[in-house]
Amino acid sequence: MQSYSLKCYKCNAIQKDNSISRIYCQNGCNELLVCEDISEIKKNPLISLLKSSKTFSLGEGNTPIIKLEKIGEKLGLNNLYVKLEFMSPTGSFKDRGSVLVVNIAKKENIRDFVEDSSGNAGASLSAYAALGKIKAHIFVPETAGKGKVDQISIFGSELHKISGPRENSTIEAKLFAEKNNIPYLSHNLSPYFSEGMKSFAYEINESIGSIDHIIFPTGNGSLLLGTWRGFLDISEKTNFNLPKLHAAQSKAIEPIVAKFNNTNWTFDSSKTTIASGISVSKPPRLQEIVDVIKESKGTALSSTDDEALKWHKILAKEEGIFCEKTSAFSFSALEKLFSKGVIKKEEKIVIPITGSGLKEAI
Ligand SMILES: [Zn+2]
């Protein structure tokens, strides 16, 4: 793991300090960082991680990928697949990033850390913190789902419930970290967290080969960004078709859709959404997300809560999949992309079922 280095997304400067709490460029531009691959570890980071000594794991990754026959038939698609990320140890895809972040933190002898989360990432980091015997302080919005908050508590993390919009949890977490001199290991900002997501691309490639499209429910974009970097790695080694990556958002909170399509959108706190996992009005990696979508020749589009709820029910009643409501936004996006001709009948599509419906009230 020490063979990673960090690079500034804006000025490309390789950073002198690669520690886990390093988030911004030291070269003066104060931009976010990305992991720069080093040849010996230019492969699936989870495999690399688990092969190294003194690491801990909950068996994350390698989630099932299955074909949706009934919904495929309903829409007229012959190759629609879902990857069941809710079968991860803590019930969401976040475990792919958490295992990397917490293992590195442990190697750096970090004893406690601060994180803010709408729920899934907080629960995931808490589980790995428990395993690594590190104290986690998790800041969540008061509105976070009970299932997710209970998860954070049972793992022994200190829970800080913050009132107001999601952003308030970030502000309070940063203040707390500074005041108490505790590392702030934000999953939204950490370059290592999205690096862990690369494994998602490797697993798709190993199980069903080249695909044409992936539709991600997108908030902070860690899964979309890490997956793209994973596919770029694979395409360097094999004759691999890079898929188009699409971002699905909620009409109430659609900063990525607005930036990608050059439309106007401003945050209005009176507009709520059931898409709690992607309710991010200011994604810190917004430019990076838009750049990747464009590079992949994908799209960004939003749906209403009602459109997504329709798919939430169809997934349960026809395919036996009880997903978090956030994941249903990808299916509404799929329906639109197919009707516009962006996605075609024979093309191979993957949708991540990012989290479990069991964590939320219906
Ligand atoms: Zn820089």
User: What are the extents of the domains in the chain?
Assistant: 65-89+193-359, 94-191
CA 199 – ligand 1 centroid, Å: 27
What's the pLDDT tens digit per position in 175-202? Answer: 999 999 999 999 999 998 988 899 999 9
SS3 content of the chain, % helix, strand, coil (to 5): 45, 15, 40
CA 28 – ligand 1 centroid, Å: 6
CA 188 – ligand 1 centroid, Å: 18
Q: Which of 349, 338, 312, 350 is nearest to 93 (CA)?
A: 350
Number of neighbouring beta carbons within 10 Å of residue 236: 10
CATH topology classification for 65-89+193-359: Rossmann fold (3.40.50)
What's the pLDDT tens digit per position in 276-319? Answer: 889 899 999 999 999 999 999 999 999 999 999 999 999 999 99
Instruction: Indicate whether 2 pLDDT > 60.
Output: no
CATH number 3.40.50.1100 is the correct assignment for the domain at 94-191: yes
- 109 CB-near residues (< 8 Å, 6+ apart): none
Q: What is the pLDDT of residue 54?
A: 67
DSSP string, 76-112: T-SEEEEE-GGGSTTSBTTHHHHHHHHHHHHHTT--E
Instruction: Indicate whether 3 pLDDT > 90.
Output: no
Q: What is the pLDDT of residue 40?
A: 44
Where does residue 318 rank: exposed (0-12), middle (13-18), buried (19+ CB within 10 A)? middle
Band of the pLDDT at 167, cuts 50, 70, 90?
confident
How far is Cα 124 from Cα 356, in angstroms, rounded to an integer? 13
Q: What is the pLDDT of residue 111?
A: 97
Q: What is the pLDDT of residue 39?
A: 45
Across the range 60-81, mean pLDDT stands at 97
Q: What is the pLDDT of residue 87?
A: 97
Are domains 65-89+193-359 and 94-191 of this chain identical in fold? Answer: yes
Residue 199, CA distances (Å) to 49, 97, 204 in order: 11, 9, 9
Instruction: Indicate whether 205 pLDDT > 60.
Output: yes
CA 7 – ligand 1 centroid, Å: 8
- 22 CB-near residues (< 8 Å, 6+ apart): 6, 15, 33
